[in-house]
Amino acid sequence: MADFSRITDWAVKNAAALNISVTKQSWINEWLPGLFDYRVKLKIGKTIHIGRGIDAQENTACDKAVAEALERAAASNLSYPWATAAYPDYAGAAERAYRELVCIDRVLCHHFCRVKFSVINIETLDWNISIARLKKVLRKHELHLELCELRPVLDASVSAAFIWSAKEHRVKGIASGFGCEKRLKDAAVQAIIECLRTAIPVFFGDITPEPWEIIRTPGNPRWHFWQAQKQGARNFLVSNLLPGNNENGGLQNLENISMNDAVISEIDSLKPAIPDLPVRIAQASSPKLLRPQFGEILMDEPALRRLEIFAGASMTPEMVVPHFYD
């Protein structure tokens, strides 16, 4: 792992100038003891940007949150603000931006093409978090977790985790989390962490949407977040994407795509305001992968061609139920 200490030093130095505030999240103590979750807010100009970071090392968790806040600040003025990543070195930022692009492509392609996932047995994960304890906490709170593999590419594996209430609940739908890493085990762990971080406030919090979050406008990922909490999202997931009782989903076919097919560019929009920026920020795109879309989806010729390649046949995209990536 890269050295994050420069981010710590930078944050201390710029805490007053950028109104940096740090909040340690407590939910993780019950659900994933041994990990730390930090939320960081910083202000650039008149805009507040928020980042989250989770790690087994407390300082690194905080540094990751600072990096994410800076990434969101850098991407906030882009017309296409997706598949970005911040990291202490450029190679790490580029690789993570590529994986984010792959992850979005997988989630959207499986959804639009109605191609089933493969189920991962959580018991098989080699993780320093106790799986038995996690399952016990899930049972205590009457939550159901499904862990899945999505179609991999040559240099990355992709996983998705979904949680819904096992009892009658005001939230009828799901919370989700996704991971893309070199190894499936690491992708699955990332997916579980992301899913739990979302599920706790969804099922046990008192969150309400801002007015703009529930409007289906182009490029609005928050609309997907709230739509996923509806019964229709859970019905679609169970019926179309999860294997049934007599299915195992099969092994996911490897797709002949790698980072060599991606175009990586550096985002340096923060440099004028922050000359001593402690991270490098990259963005990925690829003609072989689906362009990330949120809110109002445009099924143009490149999108339809990508979906037909993924499905292996001509198909009609699923456009009724919104995809789950937010």
**Residue 272 included in any domain:** no
**Residue 228 included in any domain:** yes
pLDDT at 244: 79
- Burial degree of 210 (CB within 10 A; 0-12, 13-18, 19+): exposed
Q: Are 71 and 108 within one domain?
A: no
d(CA 260, CA 242): 31
Q: Are 115 and 29 within one domain?
A: no
Q: Are 59 and 130 within one domain?
A: no
**Residue 233 included in any domain:** yes
Residue 171 sits in a domain of what CATH number?
3.30.160.660
**Residue 279 included in any domain:** no
**Phi/psi of residue 239, nearest 5 degrees:** -80, -35
Q: Are 73 and 130 within one domain?
A: no
**Residue 32 included in any domain:** yes
pLDDT at 249: 58
**Residue 38 included in any domain:** yes
**Phi/psi of residue 282, nearest 5 degrees:** -125, 160
**Residue 95 included in any domain:** no
List the one residue out of 149, 156, 147 whose CA is nearest residue 102.
156
Write out residues in the chain with pLDDT < 50, as ranges: none
Q: Could you say which DSSP state residue 251 is in?
A: P
Query: What domain range is 146 assigned to?
Result: 101-257+292-311
For residue 156, list its beta bridge partners.
153
Tokens of 80: 């296409």
pLDDT at 2: 80
pLDDT at 3: 81
Q: Are 4 and 111 within one domain?
A: no
4, 26 in Cβ contact below 8 A?
no
Give the residue from 62, 77, 92 where a domain finishes: 77
pLDDT at 1: 67
Q: How many domains, in total, are found in the chain?
A: 2
Q: Are 114 and 32 within one domain?
A: no
Q: Are 59 and 112 within one domain?
A: no
Q: Are 157 and 302 within one domain?
A: yes
Q: Are 36 and 128 within one domain?
A: no
Give the residue from 77, 109, 142 where a domain finishes: 77
pLDDT at 248: 57
Q: Are 196 and 71 within one domain?
A: no
- Tens of pLDDT along 261-320? 999 999 999 999 999 999 999 999 999 999 999 998 989 999 999 999 999 999 899 989
Residue 73 sits in a domain of what CATH number?
3.30.160.20
The whole-model pTM stands at 0.96
**Residue 114 included in any domain:** yes
Tokens of 100: 């984010």
Q: Are 12 and 142 within one domain?
A: no
pLDDT at 245: 66
d(CA 98, CA 208): 32
25, 193 in Cβ contact below 8 A?
no
